[in-house]
Amino acid sequence: MSSRNLILVVEDNKASSDLMAYLLRAAGNTVMTCTDGADAIAIAGHDHPQVIVMDLQLERMSGLEAAAVLAADAELKAIPRIAVTAYAMVGDRDRVLKAGFQGYIAKPIEPTTFAAQIKAFIVPAAPAQSDGG
Ligand code: MN
């Protein structure tokens, strides 16, 4: 069993990926990274992360396409998907949320709050038993 959250970061910009992974690991999470939407789907199916943090503009399959595939997958749709993108125009947030993401964070990310922003989307596992408080 694992008490650490597994977070999948999908980002094709290495500096951005490194920063997000660093911040999430520093907050106590286990982090996997990849650079493409198709890879994200494969990793999600294999490793079942607690949350997927995904850029929109990726190498082969875009974040929007990958989110749509995940949202339509009976096994994987429950994994929260958070878009992290610099593509922040008026109306973009609503478009992203309608396209299969539960959350949206605009770049540049805020390093002091990023991990907490992501953690807010992680559904805590049900406790095995009550510890009485
Ligand atoms: Mn990108």
* Cβ proximity of 60 and 37 under 8 Å: yes
Residue 103 belongs to a domain:
yes
Is the full-model pTM beyond 0.85? yes
- What per-residue confidence (pLDDT) applies to 92? 79
Residue 129 belongs to a domain:
no
Instruction: Give the residue-averaged pLDDT of 107-116.
Output: 95
Residue 29 belongs to a domain:
yes
pLDDT in tens, 10-64: 999 999 999 999 999 999 999 999 999 999 999 999 999 999 999 999 989 999 9
- What per-residue confidence (pLDDT) applies to 93? 82
Which residue range(s) make up the domain with 38? 6-119
Residue 1 belongs to a domain:
no
Query: Which CATH number do you get for residue 27?
Result: 3.40.50.2300
- Angle (CA) 64-8-63 rounded to 5° is 10
Cα 126 to ligand 1 centroid, rounded to whole Å? 35
Q: Give, as residue ranges, everything with CB less than 5 Å from ion ligand 1.
A: 12, 55, 57
- Please tell me the total count of domains within the chain: 1
- What per-residue confidence (pLDDT) applies to 83? 95
Cα 80 to ligand 1 centroid, rounded to whole Å? 19
